[in-house]
Amino acid sequence: MQNNRVKTLFRYVFPAILTNTCIFLFTIIDGIFVGRGVGQNALGAVNIAMPFVMISTALNMLTSIGGVTVAAIRLGRKDKEGANQAFMHSFTVNFLISAVITLLGLVFTTPLCHMLGADEMYLPMVKEYIFWWALFAIPSALSVNFQSFCRNDGSPMLVAVATAVSTAINIILDWLFVFPLRMGIMGAAIATGISQTVSWLIVLMHFILRRGELRIRKYKPEAKLFRKVIFRGLPEMIAQFATPVTTICLNHVLIATLADEGVNTFAVISYVSSFAMSVLFGASEGLQPLFGQTYGAKEEKDLKFYLRSGMIISVLGSAICIGLAIGFSRPISVLFGAEGNIIDATAKYMPQYAWAFVVSGLNTLISAYFYSTKRSVQAIILNILRSFVINTAVIIGLSAAFGAGIVWYTFGISEAVVLVIAFLLLKISERNGIEYK
């Protein structure tokens, strides 16, 4: 039994980590080519545009995670028809949301850029990146949606292969568009869009070839199931806002205290942070089907095993990420095209920021455990505090009280406060054992 659990853990978690690492590599690769091929200010512009991308991803996760959470529990109960209904409802809403995102990015580009904090120096470049990224918002969203269901439908390795292939395509196209063709930020955005479209088409084959239980087919829409999918996905959507809200707050504080140097330094650090968080989010995303299916089957020992294992993986993974981020901060800065004072600043501030990966990874895992086991209320409370309340209060409040010297610590401090609340919610919710609904 123990060996079967370990095999299942490896089968789901490590392909999910690889998948999410490749997904975030899209952004990192864009940053490398933009920084080296266009310049440091262009790298700062892409970083300012990132909250729009992250918020779009959060909205996509609303229906993707909500749908797979419902589907996983139903698959655990052997309710294949019910799982397929959840899939089709999730797919429909995901498509509609991404269509609205496309419209906003193409038509209301300038107001969006001002909301993100772009000043006159960065505005033209931020507008260019957002416009071309938004053009591919629909296939990018469907890629995320289909990957989630493909993983829950028994094909986690196909998802990993799709993202690995699309990452390789992104590298080639980034080089082609940014250097030989001199397309600048626009080229980086187009390269990302094309590569994510390829990823979606690869994963689509799982459903076209009927490799699992889920099918793309006609269905009768049910308002109750739409509400359930959205409610189950609400915690993860809220959690996805944590990074963009934190980024916006830090960008505003850094512009006010350290000016362009602070923004450009944070651009490099935030890319490293995105990569680290992709590993940690991958662990929780890989465990989500296991949490949901074992909860649906009422296998409490397996459920507890996967939670403990997830915490161990999260702590070890974050420790490795911290060591790499600190140990290679200067080469990483050079890789992104940083020069002189930006390299020195990145090396100085990286340790002050990177320690947060440990607590942030645990918060992500506990949130996934909550929403996968029908504790959406606890997950929503946790993620509202994490994404909107505590991080904003800590970043702005502590920076105002203690000045620029504490800015880089604020992300970790806010995540540590949230972790204390997460463990309290976990203890309270299981004080009488796990309740199966």
User: For residue range 341-387, what is the model confidence (pLDDT) as tens digits?
Assistant: 899 999 999 999 999 999 999 999 999 999 999 999 999 999 999 98
Given 3-state DSSP classes, what are the helix, strand and coil percentages for the chain, each rounded to the nearest 5? 85, 0, 15
What is the C-alpha separation between 404 and 254, in angstroms, rounded? Answer: 8
- Contact between 280 and 358 under an 8 Å Cβ cutoff? The reply is no
In whole angstroms, give the CA distance from residue 5 to residue 354.
32
Task: Find the angle CA(316)-CA(408)-CA(385) to the nearest 5 degrees.
Answer: 75
**Maximum Cα interatomic distance, the chain, rounded to a whole number of Å:** 64
Distances (CA, A) of 345 to 157, 176, 202: 39, 31, 41
- The token pair at 347 is 């090396």
252 to 240, 395, 396: CA distances (angstroms)? 20, 10, 9
For the chain, the distance separating the N- and C-terminal CA atoms, rounded to the nearest angstrom, is 25
**What pLDDT does residue 2 have?**
62
Pick 270 or 291 by higher pLDDT: 291
313 vs 55: which has the higher pLDDT: 313
Residue 399 corresponds to which tokens in the numbers above?
């920076």
Assess whether pLDDT exceeds 90 at residue 437. Answer: no
pLDDT band at 74 (very low <50, low <70, confident <90, very high): very high
* Cα 295 versus chain centre, distance: 24
Contacts of 134 (CB under 8 A, 6+ apart): 101, 102, 104, 105, 106, 109
State the DSSP code for 212: S
Q: What is the pLDDT of residues 121-139, one digit of tens each?
A: 888 899 999 999 999 999 9
Nearest partner of 408 among 273, 228, 231, 209, judged by Cα: 273
Enumerate helices (H) and strands (E) in the chain, giving the number of each.
18, 0
How far is residue 4's CA from residue 27's CA, in Å, rounded to a whole number? 36
H-assigned helices in 355-409: 356-372, 376-384, 390-402
Handedness of CA 404, 408, 414, 420 (dihedral sign): negative
pTM greater than 0.75: yes
Q: What is residue 32's predicted lDDT score, i.e. its pLDDT?
A: 76
Phi, psi of 120 (to 5 degrees): -60, -30
338 with 264: CB under 8 angstroms? yes
Whether the Cβ atoms of residue 193 and residue 160 lie closer than 8 Å to each other:
no
pLDDT digits (tens, 9 = 90+) for 145-160: 999 999 999 899 999 9
pLDDT band at 49; cut points 50, 70, 90: confident
Does residue 1 register a pLDDT over 70?
no
Q: Which residues contact 405 (CB under 8 A, 6 or more apart)?
A: none
417 is written with which tokens?
């406060």
How many other C-beta atoms can be found within 10 angstroms of the C-beta atom of residue 301? 10
| Residues counted in the chain | 437
pLDDT the model gives residue 270: 85
Q: Name residue 226's amino acid.
A: F
Which one, of 246, 242, 45, 16, lies nearest residue 133 by Cα? Answer: 45
Mean pLDDT of 216-240: 91
Q: What is the per-residue DSSP string for 84-112?
A: HHHHHHHHHHHHHHHHHHHHHHHHSHHHH
For 111-134, b/e burial (b = at least 16 CB within 10 A) is ebbeebbbeeebbebbbbbbbbbb
% of the chain surpassing 70 pLDDT: 98
Query: Mean of the per-residue pLDDT values for the chain?
Result: 90
Rg over alpha carbons for the chain, rounded to the nearest Å, is 21
Cβ within 8 Å of residue 115, ≥6 positions away? none
**Higher-confidence residue: 32 or 270?**
270
